[in-house]
Copies of this chain bind each other. A is one copy, B any other.
Amino acid sequence: MTTDGEETRQTANQETVRRLISTEPVLIDVCPAIEAVPGFQPNTILTSGAPMPWEDVVGGQREAVIGAARYEGLGVDRAEVIKRLDSGDIDLRACSDLHCVGSVAGVYSASMPVFVVEDAKSGDRAFCNLYEGSSPRRLNYGCYDEEVQVRLEWIRDQLGPTMRSLISAIGPLELAPIMSRALHMGDELHSRNNAACLLFLAAVLDRAGGLSESAVLPALAEVVSDQYFFLRLSMAAAKCMADRAHGVADSSVVTAMAISCNGFGIRVSGLGDQWFTGPPPLFQGHFFDGFTEEDVSWMGGESIMAETVGLGGFAQAAAPALQKYQGGSVSAMVERNLQMYSITVGEHTHFRIPYLDYRGAPVGIDIFKVVETGVTPVMDAGLAGRSGGQIGAGVVRAPLECFEAACAAYRDAHPMMS
């Protein structure tokens, strides 16, 4: 690359990170996807990963899509749902197409409530649907049965409306301050959200003077007692930040990472809506009792949006309590975290890591740095099993191929720079 080209790229990368860091994600509403998400149709189903045609959707992710369509009543039975997916009557799209972000299979249907997160400055919005709960059998892990359906109906009919009236009563809630503080309390906001849940609770109570007569607070307490509740807010906030950082001309910074049943994909700020894909990521972690590597099934995952903005694996040293969950040691976590500074172009100004003497989290993954160093992004993740459900947890590494493909595309798009 020429010196001029290199300078242009560096400037663009700094601007990308500046936009990302300066985003002010605010929770403004909780309501059905069809009401909140521009472009969502009654027959829309979203799923995780780089956009792909229905015929490429296999395994647990396929089951999750079918389950979401059945749950939404987009067919009288499984056979009809599959027929309508085959024919295109059901409009299957990628979460990212509609500023949504998906957990594991990441399926959305029209009636599912979503967190609506808005950047206070630009008004840009991102969305994430709600956590299904701690049962290993969840729609997003490819399971759909009566128990799953009942839980989804509770989320739609009880939890969603309760959350909506809560937010309506207390007003818009800034998420970045909660996230910054949670990093000082042992969370990395991907696999661990314990502190953020409690800080969310405290923030609500702090503004809930007139709410105590209603049933809102006990309901909220019940939700927050589930230590993954905040993850969906963290994901929506991260999506809001990453989308704000997307579209900076000449930038080689990654603005989305996503897993699907077919592998790993990334999107780059300066390379438009193109996705660069590779094989599934490499898993290092531990399996829950009775499961082995043979049971692993990749069925999607976009919670790694957290890593895209400097959280999760990129702030692992903030969350030493994860070592047990992930089967590793603290020193390994710190080492992995430090490694991420070699592939990023900035350090976060308000997401800081106490154990690294309050150094800002590494942020802004540069595709060229990844390829030059051979160091790929480290991500905290739950692991799905072939027969559905979560079967393990740990750390995954992105495959190098996506970054190589993105670098090649960048060079093609910038012939003057080469």
Against B, the Cβ 8 Å flags (1 = close, 0 = not) of A118-140 are: 00000000000000000000000
Which chain A residues numbered 208 to 242 have a C-beta less than 8 Å away from chain B? Answer: 208-209, 212-215, 217-218, 221, 224-225
Which single member of B185, B212, B225, B324 contacts A202 (CB below 8 Å)?
B225
Which chain A residues numbered 332 to 388 have a C-beta less than 8 Å away from chain B? Answer: 354-358
A409 at the interface (CB under 8 A from B): no
A334 to chain B, nearest CB (A): 9
Please tell me if the beta carbons of A324 and B215 are within 8 angstroms of each other in the complex. Answer: no
A206 at the interface (CB under 8 A from B): yes
A193 to chain B, nearest CB (A): 11
Known contacts being A213-B213, A330-B355, is A202 close to B224, with CB within 8 Å?
Answer: yes
Which single member of B185, B198, B323 contacts A201 (CB below 8 Å)?
B198
Please tell me if the beta carbons of A217 and B225 are within 8 angstroms of each other in the complex. Answer: no
Separation of A184 and B198 alpha carbons in the complex (Å): 14
Which single member of B185, B206, B323 contacts A221 (CB below 8 Å)?
B206
| Interface residue tally on A, bucketed by range | 20 to 34
Q: Contacts of A194 on B, CB cut-off 8 Å?
A: 184-185
Please tell me if the beta carbons of A218 and B225 are within 8 angstroms of each other in the complex. Answer: no
Which single member of B201, B206, B321 contacts A184 (CB below 8 Å)?
B321
Please tell me if the beta carbons of B357 and A323 are within 8 angstroms of each other in the complex. Answer: yes
Separation of A273 and B213 alpha carbons in the complex (Å): 52
Q: Contacts of A201 on B, CB cut-off 8 Å?
A: 198, 201-202, 205
A186 at the interface (CB under 8 A from B): yes
Please tell me if the beta carbons of B205 and A218 are within 8 angstroms of each other in the complex. Answer: yes
A167 to chain B, nearest CB (A): 17
Against B, the Cβ 8 Å flags (1 = close, 0 = not) of A182-206 are: 0011100000001100110110011
Taken together, the copies of this chain in the complex come to 2
CB nearest neighbor in B for A216: B212
Please tell me if the beta carbons of A205 and B221 are within 8 angstroms of each other in the complex. Answer: yes
A329 at the interface (CB under 8 A from B): yes
A320 at the interface (CB under 8 A from B): yes
Separation of A330 and B186 alpha carbons in the complex (Å): 15
A335 to chain B, nearest CB (A): 14
Q: Contacts of A198 on B, CB cut-off 8 Å?
A: 195, 198-199, 201-202
Please tell me if the beta carbons of A217 and B202 are within 8 angstroms of each other in the complex. Answer: no
Which chain A residues numbered 151 to 192 have a C-beta less than 8 Å away from chain B? Answer: 184-186
Please tell me if the beta carbons of B212 and A218 are within 8 angstroms of each other in the complex. Answer: yes
Please tell me if the beta carbons of B186 and A206 are within 8 angstroms of each other in the complex. Answer: no
Known contacts being A198-B195, A330-B357, A354-B323, is A217 close to B224, with CB within 8 Å?
Answer: no
Please tell me if the beta carbons of A355 and B185 are within 8 angstroms of each other in the complex. Answer: no
13 additional contacts (CB under 8 A) given A186-B186, A202-B221, A213-B213: A184-B186, A184-B321, A185-B321, A198-B201, A198-B202, A201-B201, A202-B224, A205-B221, A208-B221, A321-B354, A323-B354, A329-B357, A330-B355
Residues of chain A having any CB pair with chain B under 8 Å: 184-186, 194-195, 198-199, 201-202, 205-206, 208-209, 212-215, 217-218, 221, 224-225, 320-321, 323-324, 329-330, 354-358
8 contacts between A and B (CB under 8 A): A184-B321, A185-B185, A205-B221, A212-B213, A212-B214, A212-B218, A329-B357, A330-B357
Please give me the 4 A-B residue pairs with the lowest Cβ-Cβ distance, nearest first.
Answer: A320-B354, A205-B221, A198-B198, A184-B321
